[in-house]
Amino acid sequence: MTKTSVIESPYAWLRLGAAVALSTIGGVGMWSIVVALPAVQAEFGVTRGSASLPYTLAMVGFMAGTVLMGRLADRFGIMVPMLLGTVMLSIGYVLTSFAGGITSFAILYGLLVGLLGGSAMFAPLLADTSLWFDRRRGLAIGLCASGNYFAGTLWPPVIEHFIAEIGWRETHVWIGVFCLVTMLPLALVLRRRPPAQAPPPAAVNGAAAFGTRPLGLPPNLVQGLLVVAGVGCCVAMSMPQVHIVAYCVDLGYGPARGAEMLSLMLGFGIVSRLASGWILDRIGGLATLLLGATLQGLALAFYLPFDGLASLYIISAMFGLVQGGIVPSYAFIIRELFPASQAGFRVSLAISATMAGMALGGWLSGAIFDLTGSYKAALVNGIAWNIVNVTITAFLLRRMLRQEKAAAAAA
Contact 51, 358 (CB under 8 A): no
Say which DSSP state 105 is in. Answer: H
Please compute the mean of the pLDDT values over residues 308-317 and round it to a whole number.
92
What tens digit of pLDDT does each residue of 5-22 get? 578 889 999 999 999 999
Q: Under CATH, what is the fold of the domain 3-410?
A: Growth Hormone; Chain: A; (1.20.1250)
Regarding predicted confidence, which is higher, 262 or 126?
A: 126
pLDDT value at 411 more than 70: no
pLDDT confidence of residue 323: 86
Regarding predicted confidence, which is higher, 213 or 298?
A: 298
DSSP letters for 126-144: HHHHHTT-STTHHHHHHHH
Delimit the domains of the chain by residue range: 3-410
Please state the φ and ψ torsions of residue 352, each to the nearest 5 degrees: -65, -30
Please compute the mean of the pLDDT values over residues 190-215 and round it to a whole number.
62
Q: How far is CA 140 from the centre of its chain?
A: 16
Q: What is the 3-state secondary structure (H, E, C) of 351-376?
A: HHHHHHHHHHHHHHHHHHHHHHCCCH
Regarding predicted confidence, which is higher, 68 or 408?
A: 68
Separation of alpha carbons 100 and 98, rounded Å: 6
What tens digit of pLDDT does each residue of 288-299 get? 999 999 999 999
Separation of alpha carbons 214 and 211, rounded Å: 6
Single out the residue of 64, 335, 69 nearest to residue 199, CA to CA: 335
Please compute the mean of the pLDDT values over residues 24-52 and round it to a whole number.
87
SS3 (DSSP) at 191: coil
Confidence bin at 198 (pLDDT 50/70/90): low
pLDDT confidence of residue 309: 92
Regarding predicted confidence, which is higher, 87 or 370?
A: 87
pLDDT confidence of residue 386: 96
pLDDT value at 384 more than 50: yes
Say which DSSP state 193 is in. Answer: P
Separation of alpha carbons 129 and 143, rounded Å: 10
Regarding predicted confidence, which is higher, 198 or 299?
A: 299
Confidence bin at 140 (pLDDT 50/70/90): very high
Separation of alpha carbons 158 and 396, rounded Å: 41
Contact 24, 145 (CB under 8 A): no
Answer yes or no: pTM beyond 0.85: no
Separation of alpha carbons 58 and 30, rounded Å: 8
pLDDT confidence of residue 358: 82
